[in-house]
């Protein structure tokens, strides 16, 4: 694996201190061939995901422009910050119970995706998270099969979840 940038990222937030990594790929490039997300982290945040409360204490780790136009909630999660104005996430405790927190990303898949997008690569973790992302596509098929074209009021919770997994929910 070639190293793209020898900049060491040192993480220090509410959930993780002292973790560090380097970039092994250019930002937004050199993804695994079977990983083709439909949205970037910037697009996801700008549209409204995770009730505006997911990475609020991690802003220094990622490009500031990702958060500039994102609907954020500093105090507590806010359903109104989600694009579809529905609650569509489980608690971190539930994610942990179900084994969805993998490797060095204590906030789950989206934190992994943000770090992957920035250029971090961890082969085994990446394979597991990409497998989870691919499995989530079944929800897109359900929306497509059960909703009229462009009826964004149909299956709003599922559409919000698609948005939070980097799938385009607008079809």
Question: Looking at residue 132, what is its pLDDT?
Answer: 96
- Note the pLDDT of residue 2: 52
What pLDDT is stored for residue 5 in this prediction?
Answer: 53
In which residue are the tokens 């997300």 written? 37
Which pLDDT value is given to residue 107? 92
Residue 131, C-beta contacts closer than 8 angstroms, at least 6 positions apart: none
Burial class (CB in 10 A: 0-12, 13-18, 19+), 50: buried
pLDDT of 27 reads: 96
Question: For residues 97 and 100, what is the distance between their CA atoms, to the nearest angstrom?
Answer: 8
Residues of the chain above pLDDT 90, percent: 75
Q: Which residue has the higher pLDDT, 129 or 1?
A: 129
The values of phi and psi at residue 50, to 5°, are 50, 35
Helices (H), 5-154: 41-47, 65-68, 92-97, 109-118, 123-136, 138-146
Q: Domain residue spans in the chain?
A: 27-163
Of the chain, the percentage scoring pLDDT greater than 70 comes to 96
What average pLDDT score do residues 5-21 get? 88
Average pLDDT of the residues in 101-114: 94
DSSP string, 37-69: -SS-HHHHHHH--GGG-SSGGGGGGS-THHHHT
Confidence category of residue 95, pLDDT binned at 50, 70, 90: confident
CA distances from 8 to 29, 50, 66, 100 (A): 19, 28, 20, 26
The answer to whether 39 and 23 have CB atoms below 8 angstroms apart is: no
**What pLDDT, on a 0 to 100 scale, did the predictor assign at position 166?**
98
pLDDT averaged over every residue in the chain: 92
Structure tokens at 57: 């204490």
pLDDT in tens, 18-53: 999 999 999 999 999 999 999 999 999 999 999 998
- Indicate the range of 1-10, 65-74, 158-167 predicted with least confidence: 1-10
| pLDDT confidence of residue 4 | 53
Q: How many CB atoms lie within 10 A of CB 13?
A: 16
pTM: 0.93
């Amino acid at each position: 694996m070639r190293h793209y940038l020898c900049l060491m990222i040192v993480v220090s937030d509410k959930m993780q201190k002292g973790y560090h990594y380097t970039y092994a790929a250019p930002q937004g490039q050199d993804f695994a061939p079977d990983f083709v997300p439909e949205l970037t982290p910037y697009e996801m945040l700008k549209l409204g995901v995770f009730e505006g409360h997911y990475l609020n204490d991690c802003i220094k780790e990622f490009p500031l422009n990702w958060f500039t136009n994102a609907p954020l909630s500093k105090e507590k999660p806010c359903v109104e910050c989600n694009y579809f104005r529905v609650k569509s996430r489980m608690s971190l405790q539930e994610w942990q119970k179900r084994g969805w927190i993998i490797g060095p990303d204590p906030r789950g898949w989206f934190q992994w995706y943000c770090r992957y997008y920035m250029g971090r690569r961890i082969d085994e973790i990446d394979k597991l998270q990409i497998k989870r992302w691919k499995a989530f596509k079944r929800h897109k098929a359900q929306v497509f099969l059960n909703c009229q074209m462009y009826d964004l009021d149909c299956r709003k919770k599922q559409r919000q979840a698609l948005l939070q997994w980097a799938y385009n929910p607008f079809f």
